[in-house]
Structure 1
Amino acid sequence: MLKSLVWKFMTDAIVPALAVATVATVATTAAVRPASAIEIEKVVSPGGIEAWLVSESAVPLVSVQFAFDGGAAQDPPDRPGVANLISVLLDEGAGDIDSAAFQEKLESLAIEMSFDAGRDTFYGAMQTLTENLDEAANLLRLAITAPRFDADAIERMRVQTESGLRRELTDPNAVAGRLWSDTVFGSHPYGRPVKGTLETVAAITVDDLRAYHERIFARDTLKIAVVGDITAERLAPLLDEIFGGLPQTADLAPVAEATLPDGGMRKVVEMEIPQTVIQFGRPGLKRDDPDFIPAYVVNHILGGGAFSSRLYQEVREKRGLSYSVYSFLYPLDRAGLIAGGAATRNDRAAESLAIIDEEIKRMADEGPTAEELDKAKRYLKGSYPLRFDTSTKIARQLVEIQRDKLGIDYINKRNDLIDAVTIDDAKRVARKLYGDGSLYVTMVGRPDGIAADAKGG
């Protein structure tokens, strides 16, 4: 679903059961301080590689998160899926270590390593016990600088990817999400499926993989965060050891600003299922927009606040139409959007969508109430520390803060920015965000009374 695009960062390492328990226990106890008390240190290696460090010696764990600009938007236009395929191949052998031996080393040392391709960004993560840091650093170095891309590993991961794509052909959430992206972005790189298609994944060659790796994995777009049992003095040379072998400059293909459709539209894919999956959205804001924080607060009131949001109250609580209904801000490097979704019975789909339309238009016309704004601000400020309750979460947040160019002091001033949102700000931004209330809507199922392809309000 589109919601998964916002925070998609899972670990895939295979480790023994005892090691999993050990690492999981350490991970959940590593973040021992509230967000405002986290001390972030900028570390620069002898070779000029920068990382943000939160040193915490309470538990013997080191978590590394990093990101390169690029992502799926840098896939060859005729072969989407290259970045995604690379993300499952980097730990399938590197340097002089083949796939089986690489996986065995990760398992025996309880090292977690994972990679993920988003639309604009290629992410990586590594977590290790402190006693295994040297071995973990070497394996990570090999994975990002010298991946093998062996034929047998490529075919195994290709088959795995194709199997997932086949399942998605009958998954209404996946179908709705893909249709939504195609409808909104068209021929823009954002309109290409991140995982590719059965046809494009089958056509990807080892040359495609190597070309992408050589163009994207470079130091000039690299953002790194490290959290755990490591000092700045130890980290500085380690950064050169892991990342120093990368090229200095990436060779990114230019990506144009996305031109979003004017007005609303509704598209339906018929599928023999008892429920209709609804995905909706409209133009929104990029992360660097001065109104992003007020927009974030307003969206929390509309559909981002789980049990407290207007959409949840109107669609689920009062009418029981959907188990879940939500909205979120969806900022990309070349487009800003609002997105959301719900699932409901086919015979109630039109009613559910009408209520969503009504609530979005009401928010545009009236904005939130002072009481809603006060509650939203209290919740958003109070819940912020939950983003920092493990070493992995802290590192992930610090990478995103770097990518968004928010500054190393952002976590100390973020709640003040939330608190500064006034009712006038909220009403003004609600009008700016939701305008005439028109939506891009895709529906998968058999929604009663909704045309298969039509302009919508």
Structure 2
Amino acid sequence: MKQIPLIILALLLTGASWAQTFKLPPFQKFKLKNGLTVYLMEQHEVPLINVSAVFDAGAVQDGNRYGLGNMTAEALLFGSATYTKAQLEEKVEYVGASLDTYAGKETAKLTASFAVKDADLLFGIIQDVLTKPTFNQAEFDKYKQRQLLQLTQQKESPRNVINSYFNKFLFEGHPYANPITGTPTAVSAITAADARQFYQKNYTTDRAAIAIVGDFDTAAMKKRITDLFGSWKTAAATSPAISEPTVAFDKSRVLLVNKDDARETTFLIGGKGITQSNPDFIPVTVVNTILGGRFTSWLNDALRVNSGLTYGAGSRFSTLRKSGTFAISTFTKVSTTTEAIDMAVQVLDSLHRTGIDEKALTSAKNYVKADFPPRYESASELAGLLTDMFSLGFDESFINNFQKNVDGITVAKTRQIIDQYFPKNNLQFVLVGKADTIRDKVKKYGTITEKEIKADGF
């Protein structure tokens, strides 16, 4: 999963003028008879069309076949009823278009961008890929070998895999623990037939949406999309809705992942976070900006600027539909492992002890409004926004009222936010490093569970 859902990342990346003036451009939303939700938004600045399609087909639907959702999304482009994989790539590349598929924790997406003059070709390809994928066995097997190699290579960089360990540690027994890219054992057993079955079960029109943003006439595009997808027949979705996980701990715990050749210790400290739909998301973001959400944050000042223990430290809330996590993250030399962890915990404790004053709050609010407002300058970003609105269950008021909601945060509100959402007791620690060197030093943080980074899975 990307660490924060794409809508949140997009909301946190551009300038003050956008925060003050940006309103979501007008769009039309309607449903086809088969249940497929369609968004259409005209943007005539450049002669391009951008497409984003979303399905409830992420890693949470994998069961115990970890990686199946990710592999199925990739396999949509391995051939269709009309085109082989090579032909798809050649035709898309020849006209300078882009066509991609991928899966995250909860959803799978197809995205495309192309010139208006190539609309007939690309819409035909998109229809073919989404409605008639062939899941070619030979192409699937070649991809699976590459995926297995990538899983092995990922373990060489703790920063690439520590989030998967953290999710597994916090969400054990819940689908949110499923690693998006899978495990070697699980991936080895997945076949093209498995991907086809996953597609048939989860790529259903009643839980899907497609957004088209760009240089077109809405009435004409509505007819085009209806003609392309109106007769698409899928079974009704049968996968149950994901339940809220139990993320509550009665003691501090440590997961120590041994990497014998590690010269650094990479660690996350945290616990339960917030959901995507939490009404306090914006004030939580502002408070976290002070703690660890910008270069001049308390965590970065303490661990990088003032002590030189790391090249960077921060904190984040990763949000999902039914839950979320909070984590402080950094890395340090093996010899300074406990010094860095102690300092990170002290900074979190100081947030609870001293809270935030008016000066710090004003600075954070200005930062959020200047650097973290909606970033939807391009049609592709707007297309992604519309499908995120569908899959994450929010509407344009979240975008349009962003600045007003930031301005309304008070010092008293930050006190409530800190007490309610920033963990203080029973913290959860995940460390990747040289276990023999740090084991005895880190047992003071909680009950230790050990794993080998070379072991299968997380």
Q: Classify the TM-score, shorter chain.
A: 0.7 to 0.9
The match for 1:76 is 63
* SS class of match (2:81): coil
What's 1:456 paired with? Answer: 445
Q: Is the 1:365–1:431 contact (alpha carbons within 8 Å) kept by the matching residues of 2?
A: no
Shift of 1:34: 7.9
- Alignment partner, residue 23 of structure 1: none
CA displacement at 1:455 relative to structure 2: 7.2
Contact (CA 8 Å) 2:63, 2:175: kept in 1 or not? no
Tell me, yes or no, if the aligned pair for 2:41 and 2:212 is still in contact at 8 Å: yes
1:220-299 aligned at under 5 Å gives the runs 220-244=206-230, 245-247=232-234, 249-262=236-249, 263-271=251-259, 272-299=261-288
* Cα distance between partner residues in 2 of 1:35 and 1:133: 32
Return the offset for 1:337.
1.7
Partner of 2:139 in structure 1? 153
Give 2:195's aligned residue: 209
Instruction: Say if 1:65 and 1:123, in contact at 8 Å, map to a contact too.
Output: yes
Q: Which residue of 1 aligns with 2:334?
A: 346
Please report the RMSD computed on the Cα atoms of aligned residues, expressed in angstroms. Answer: 2.4
Deviation of 1:46 after TM superposition, in Å, equals 5.8
Equivalent position amino acid for 1:415 in 2: Q
Query: Is the Cα contact below 8 Å between 1:388 and 1:394 reproduced in 2?
Result: yes
Q: TM-score, normalised by structure 2?
A: 0.87
Separation in 2, partners of 1:454, 1:350: 10
Q: Structure 2 CA distance, aligned partners of 1:407 and 1:443?
A: 38
Kindly state the Cα deviation for residue 248 of structure 1 after the two structures are TM-superposed: 6.5
* Alignment map for 1:12-51 (pairs within 5 Å): 36-44=22-30, 47=33, 49-51=36-38
Percent identity among equivalent residues?
24
Q: Cα gap change, 1:356/1:326 in structure 2, threshold over 3 Å: closer, same or farther?
A: same
Of 56, 72, 76 in structure 2, the residue corresponding to residue 86 of structure 1 is 72
Partner SS, residue 169 of structure 2? helix
Distance change in 2, residues 1:450/1:432 (3 Å):
farther
Query: Cα–Cα, structure 1 residues 380 and 226, in superposed 2: closer, same or farther, change >3 Å?
Result: farther
Give the alignment partner of residue 357 of structure 1, picking from 330, 334, 345. Answer: 345
Correspondences of 1:57-456 after superposition (within 5 Å): 57-77=44-64, 79-244=65-230, 245-247=232-234, 249-262=236-249, 263-271=251-259, 272-305=261-294, 307-385=295-373, 387-446=375-434, 449-451=438-440, 454=443, 456=445
Structure-2 separation of matches of 1:434 and 1:8: 22
Alpha-carbon distance in structure 2 between the residues aligned to 1:261 and 1:250: 31
Query: Could you tell me which residue of structure 2 aligns to residue 22 of structure 1?
Result: none
**1:279 maps to amino acid:** L
- Give the C-alpha shift of residue 190 in structure 1: 1.7
Alignment check: 8 A CA contact 1:266 1:455 kept: no
Deviation at 1:301, TM superposition (A): 1.4
Distance in 2 (CA, whole Å) between partners of 1:166 and 1:396 is 31
Q: Deviations over 1:251-271 (max 9, x none)?
A: 213433212240322222222
**Given that residues 338 and 441 in structure 2 are in contact (C-alpha distance below 8 angstroms), is that contact kept between their aligned partners in structure 1?**
no
Give the Cα–Cα distance (whole angstroms) in 2 for the partners of residues 439 and 344 of structure 1. Answer: 19
Alignment deviations for residues 43-99 of structure 1 (CA, whole Å, 9 cap, x no partner): 32664643333321111111112211231110132x111111112211121113111
| Total equivalences in the alignment | 431
> 1:340–1:51: structure 2 CA closer, same or farther, 3 Å change rule?
farther
User: In terms of mean alpha carbon deviation, does 38-47 or 196-205 score higher?
Assistant: 38-47
Looking at structure 1, the residues matched to 20 and 110 of structure 2 have their Cα atoms a distance apart, in angstroms, of 25
More displaced, 424-433 or 324-333? 324-333
* Bigger Cα displacement from structure 2, 92-101 vs 222-231: 222-231
**2: CA distance, partners of 1:114 / 1:85:** 13
Residues 265 and 454, structure 1, Cα contact 8 Å, conserved in 2 = no
TM-score relative to the length of structure 1: 0.87
Determine the structure 2 residue equivalent to 1:18.
none
Write the distance in 2 (CA, Å) between the matches of 1:343 and 1:434.
21
Verify the 8 A CA contact 1:41 1:53 in the aligned structure 2. Answer: yes
Provide the residue aligned with 2:13 in structure 1.
Answer: none
**Are the aligned partners of 1:91 and 1:99 in contact in 2 as well (CA < 8 Å)?**
yes
Point out which structure has higher relative CO (alpha carbons under 8 A, 6+ apart): 2
